[in-house]
């Protein structure tokens, strides 16, 4: 059973957010009122529910019950140390994409042996760093990378454990910027080249072939592309093993979507029930499985609390100007993504003190692309607080200092307990590495 919110009744929980709910007029995360967090820590503010992260993880764990499986949290979704700690303590491995992410995992107490290293552009220095740390697997994305990794490992007197990322050429039907499993993407090696590249990998002295992997995209809300990708990967496993190269594990990547806006992705356990049925039918039920979920573990665990600075009526459009911006919440500007926006203090609908109107919700940054929500019905006035939902994934980790805006404070809520996991960034923090020169 997944954990239930301890105070808020499930009926009042927000769609997709089992641990965010109105209790009376007050929006709460677990047992904590968001208005209280905003009063204590200021805005903009990210808040994450620990129970929500663990419930999302538990759905995968239920799906894999009785199997040899390793869940590697794709930490680029949210790489804050306090978030990594929650997953490390829960026994997760990590999918990393840079040497910096490796250092974060180790700083958070993660197990190096459970790290897999993805990405098309690993540098020699990053390879050396990961080999010396003793990571579990390099997910290699090109033939050229295999050769370099083998050289780097040989020079250290080591053998690099490798898996090759194959491109199954299936359409995940998601945004083009987050679709990765089609032929024309930069990711993985082509299906038809895979066997030859495995044979090349097996011939290199600095490498030890341990697995195969794929990752077809992100925010996938349908099981079909996963089932198609599995078929194609298993075809490859058959031909690679027939050529005499054993594969100890199969890694099916991440990409499962979350509910942003009436999206209906399959639950992780239901999806895996279908996938495992196929795996069993095809005779691979005994193989060790790996997955790399990111968004689906943290996305709906987080909300961003922001304050309305100004309400600006216009001839054609009304603007609601908030203190969070595209530097904090980059997904709308980057992918035209939708985040639900709700009041922290619900108005009584019987006697609303502010009339409802339609607003473009925008930040203070000097860019027309700095919008957070378009054409939203809100009853707001300056000083009100709003919660931007589904902001646990690909928000803080993609945030920037554009306009010399300090990054927001991050809190981890655990029942009634509140932990500051990142302090608000000051201008001095931002200028720390810069130098004035003698002119």
Ligand X SMILES: *Cc1c(COP(=O)(O)O)cnc(C)c1O
**Binding-site ranges for ligand X (CB under 6 A):** 74, 76-77, 95, 118, 215, 218, 253-255, 292-296
CB atoms within 10 A of CB 264: 9
Q: Which are the catalytic amino acids?
A: 366
CA distance 139 to 214: 9
CB of 138 to ligand X, least distance (A): 12
CB of 291 to ligand X, least distance (A): 8
CA distance 138 to 366: 41
CB nearer ligand X, residue 105 or residue 322: 105
CA distance 281 to 275: 10
CB of 387 to ligand X, least distance (A): 22
CA distance 257 to 170: 16
CB nearer ligand X, residue 174 or residue 318: 174
In Å, how far are 44, 137, 169, 246, 317 from 95, measured between CA atoms?
29, 10, 22, 23, 43
CB of 141 to ligand X, least distance (A): 9
CA distance 145 to 290: 22
Q: Which residues are within 8 A (CB) of 144 and not within 5 positions of it... i.e. 6 or more apart?
A: none
CB nearer ligand X, residue 199 or residue 221: 221
- Which candidate, 323, 333, 351, 355, places its Cα nearest to that of 424? 323
CB nearer ligand X, residue 185 or residue 430: 185
**β-strand partners of 342:** 387
CB nearer ligand X, residue 45 or residue 97: 97
CA distance 211 to 359: 50
CB of 313 to ligand X, least distance (A): 38
CB nearer ligand X, residue 104 or residue 295: 295
CB of 436 to ligand X, least distance (A): 39
Number of residue whose CB is nearest ligand X: 294
Q: Tokens representing 59?
A: 């759905």
CA distance 372 to 368: 11
In Å, how far are 216, 321, 324, 351, 390 from 380, measured between CA atoms?
41, 10, 16, 14, 21
């Amino acid at each position: 059973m997944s954990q239930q919110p301890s105070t808020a009744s499930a009926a009042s929980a927000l769609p997709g957010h089992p641990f965010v709910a109105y209790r009376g007029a007050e929006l709460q995360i677990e047992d904590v009122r968001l208005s209280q967090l905003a009063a204590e820590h200021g805005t903009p503010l990210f808040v994450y529910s620990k129970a929500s992260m663990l419930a999302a993880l538990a759905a995968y764990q239920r799906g894999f019950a009785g199997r040899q499986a390793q869940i590697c949290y794709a930490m680029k979704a949210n790489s804050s140390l306090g978030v990594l700690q929650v997953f490390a303590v829960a026994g997760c491995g990590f999918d990393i994409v840079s040497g910096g992410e490796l250092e974060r995992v180790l700083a958070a107490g993660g197990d190096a042996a459970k790290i897999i290293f993805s990405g098309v552009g690993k540098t020699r220095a990053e390879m050396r760093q990961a080999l010396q740390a003793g990571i579990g697997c390099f997910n290699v994305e090109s033939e050229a990378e295999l050769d370099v990794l083998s050289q780097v490992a040989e020079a250290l007197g080591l053998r690099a454990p490798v898996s090759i990322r194959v491109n199954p050429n299936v359409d995940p039907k998601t945004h083009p910027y987050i679709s990765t499993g089609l032929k024309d993407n930069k990711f993985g090696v082509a299906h038809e080249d895979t066997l030859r590249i495995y044979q090349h990998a097996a011939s290199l002295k600095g490498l030890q072939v341990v697995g195969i992997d794929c990752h077809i995209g992100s925010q996938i809300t349908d099981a079909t592309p996963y089932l198609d990708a599995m078929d194609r990967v298993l075809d490859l496993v058959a031909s690679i093993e027939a050529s005499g190269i054993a594969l100890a594990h199969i890694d099916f990547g991440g990409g499962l979507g979350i509910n942003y806006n009436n999206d209906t992705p399959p639950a992780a356990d239901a999806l895996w029930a279908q996938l495992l049925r196929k795996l069993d039918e095809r005779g691979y039920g005994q193989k060790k499985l790996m997955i790399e979920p990111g968004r689906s573990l943290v996305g709906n665990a987080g909300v961003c609390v922001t304050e309305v600075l100004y309400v600006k009526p216009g001839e054609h459009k009304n603007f609601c100007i908030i203190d969070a911006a595209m530097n904090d919440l980059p997904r709308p500007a980057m992918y035209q993504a939708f985040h639900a926006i709700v009041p922290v203090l619900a108005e009584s609908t019987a006697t609303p003190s502010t009339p409802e109107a339609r607003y473009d919700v925008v930040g203070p940054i000097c860019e027309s692309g700095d919008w957070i929500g378009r054409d939203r019905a809100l009853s707001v006035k300056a000083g009100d607080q709003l919660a931007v939902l589904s902001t646990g994934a690909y928000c803080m980790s993609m945030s920037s200092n554009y306009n010399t805006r300090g990054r927001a404070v991050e809190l981890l809520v655990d029942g009634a307990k509140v932990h500051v996991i990142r302090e608000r960034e000051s201008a001095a923090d931002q200028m720390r590495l810069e130098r004035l020169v003698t002119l």
